[in-house]
A and B are shown apart, each in its own frame.
Chain A
């Protein structure tokens, strides 16, 4: 089982400075050299259904990143793209328990998702603590629950973050609503800057 500890220090830094804040994204200076000394690996895991309009926000965002980095192929739902040794992109319809095994191999996981009016801000960053959140009637898993499964089953929970963007329309379409499209546009460049330390690896 993978045992990675260095991500925890970084999580503490993030928690203090950027819990659920709007843009700008976390400043780069929190990516301390100490954390990088043990080869951090970040998974960006986009969750949502691209056939249900704004629910697919994460899929659109991840494919914006791949396009920016020169990948010609669209990353389809369920596919994974290792950008380099430190950064991997993945999109999926929803979180599933068996993902815990993969999550446990990373030092950091950034979940990307759409949210509705339950969260007050249009763009929201949260640091996550592993903890199981039961869903009484269904198979729904939260990022926190996935992290808890990774911890319980494989002995390691990566530092977790959630970037969520407000969705407004959820019809049967692959096109984002205008409002959510604008939010996506606004989050791409800051996110790219935020990822720079990982892009410089490998």
Chain B
């Protein structure tokens, strides 16, 4: 819902499970945008909550952070525990974890493209808001809508088969997984795979057609330079489950290539008074020069190839957009997301065809506690770090989580500011213009992850700004 006053526009959705975000657009006397902000009122009390718990509980506890990407937290926690307990999983367990992760990527990316981005792309940013939504999309293209639902269900079904449930799976444990895959379960997943790949390819076709017709919009919608960050395997091959981390600059030059355990040597977090969510950046370049982007766009920019043929061919087309240099256009996050979904679906077949996938050698029970463990995974939205410090008995003394949405915090805010300044140029503010500002955030598919709808229960700060953007007064309250 948007309210418009002469000098300030506030877009404040009532969110439920993913936390709270607010966009404030400050207009000057002439009605031009002075500055726009994305405020994220996330409360990161979860790390404190975990202290004192036993480390082996973390794969069960941390998915409760959020219902949107529980699998990512589940697997990152298990990986951190592998490291902490000194118990690398056997290969079949790694394959099974990766398979679950692919299910998560397919369902998450599928939902985002068809249900969140789709209405803007297929019906238009300026379409009547009464129909510019997923129901309008269903009415416009019911076959596509049903395909989109099936795609998400396919991803969810992989998670369900492996984890016994679609959310809060109990599957990965320190040293492996607690359930092997049966032949019939493998065949059940394979049965839905061709349809899933077809749907993703259809999505890619739709996006490319849209991009061709909307090149002007793409090239002025939140286009800016940053570094890019993501996981790769040797040969800079796109990797989502386990690999090294690669950071490149805005020109595509490699800045760092490192093991996830060393992340504190490279990443620091900046704090701004107008957002509860911290702003990670590349330490050596400092703030704000060291800002970078993660997620689909970041990952495809740091990767040189993809291990599966259809996605690799799509990556080549993607790379051609900016002649091999990093792709900077925010709206291409949608394109990158679909290419990753295609990779994830193709990779499901690779994993299911691996002879080890049906092995029952799924758990390493050796334990040699190291006192510290780091788990890194490429969640659908970007790189997710879990870092645990524990006593010799495995009781946690300290926990640090850096979530994907945090890495993109600066970029989302910059995108909001950029889009507001580009599209809101006069006193008359149409709904479609505000929708573009919101779409700038949606492109990053943020997950604000506080798992509650406690409006008014978390610290609330109201900032009053003058026409020059100067802070005149701050009001803070803890409860309604």
Contacts and interface: CB of A to CB of B under 8 A. Distances in A.
Contacts of A114: 453
Interface in B163-189: 165-168
A78 interface: yes
Interface in B1-19: 11, 13-18
A98 B152 contact: yes
A143 to B, nearest CB: 11
Nearest to B444: A137
A199 interface: no
Interface string A33-58: 00000000000000001011001000
A70 interface: no
Given A132-B134, A172-B46, A94 B16 contact: yes
A135 B115 CA distance: 11
Most central of B13, B17, B165 by chain A CB within 10 Å? B17
A140 interface: yes
A55 B452 contact: yes
B451 A97 contact: no
B145 interface: yes
A16 to B, nearest CB: 26
A49 B13 contact: no
Interface string A92-126: 11101110110000000000001111100000000
Interface string B131-171: 01111101100100110010011001000000001111000
Contact of A136 (B11, B145, B156): B11
A137 B446 contact: yes
A117 B446 CA distance: 26
Contact of B480 (A116, A134, A169, A172): A116
A179 interface: no
B139 A152 contact: yes
A167 B452 CA distance: 11
Contacts of B138: 149, 152-153
Contacts of A49: 17, 64, 67, 451-452
B15 A140 contact: yes
A138 B115 contact: no
Contacts of A78: 165-168
Most central of B49, B67, B138 by chain A CB within 10 Å? B67
A31 interface: no
A148 interface: yes
A98 B167 contact: no
Nearest to A101: B149
B129 A134 contact: yes
Contact of B145 (A77, A79, A153, A168): A153
A70 B115 CA distance: 40
A140 B13 contact: yes
Contacts of A153: 138, 142, 145-146, 149
B281 to A, nearest CB: 23
Interface range on chain A (Cβ under 8 Å from partner): 35 or more
B21 A137 contact: yes
B152 A137 contact: no
Interface stretch (B214-222, B343-351, B454-462): B454-462
B45 interface: yes
B18 A140 contact: yes
Contact of A51 (B64, B142, B453, B480): B64
A3 interface: no
A100 B148 CA distance: 13
Interface in A49-78: 49, 51-52, 55, 76-78
Nearest to A136: B438
Interface in A165-180: 167-172
A193 interface: no
B45 A172 contact: yes
Contacts of B45: 171-172
Contact of B441 (A132, A137, A139, A168): A137
Given A117-B480, A170-B452, A138 B165 contact: no
B448 interface: yes
Contacts of B23: 137
Contacts of A94: 16-17, 67-68
A138 B480 contact: no
Contact of B442 (A93, A137, A168, A170): A137
A145 B166 CA distance: 21
A161 to B, nearest CB: 18
A98 B453 contact: no
A118 B167 CA distance: 28
B21 A138 contact: yes
A77 B451 CA distance: 14
Contacts of A117: 455-456, 480
A93 B115 CA distance: 19
B135 A132 contact: yes
Nearest to A172: B49
B116 interface: yes
B190 interface: no
A148 B111 CA distance: 17
B446 A138 contact: yes
Given A93-B167, A116-B457, A169-B457, A138 B133 contact: no
A55 B21 CA distance: 19
Contact of A137 (B15, B453, B456): B15
Most central of B16, B116, B149, B156 by chain A CB within 10 Å? B16
Interface of B: 11, 13-18, 21, 23, 45-46, 49, 64, 67-68, 111, 115-116, 129, 132-136, 138-139, 142, 145-146, 149, 152-153, 156, 165-168, 435, 438, 441-442, 446-448, 451-458, 480
Given A55-B454, A92-B167, A137-B13, 12 more contacts: A51-B64, A51-B451, A77-B168, A78-B167, A101-B149, A116-B455, A118-B14, A136-B13, A137-B441, A138-B18, A139-B116, A149-B134
21 contacts: A49-B17, A49-B64, A52-B452, A76-B168, A93-B17, A94-B68, A97-B115, A114-B453, A116-B453, A135-B13, A135-B14, A137-B438, A137-B446, A139-B68, A140-B18, A148-B135, A152-B139, A152-B145, A153-B142, A153-B145, A172-B49
Interface of A: 49, 51-52, 55, 76-79, 92-94, 96-98, 100-101, 114-118, 132, 134-140, 145, 148-149, 152-153, 167-172
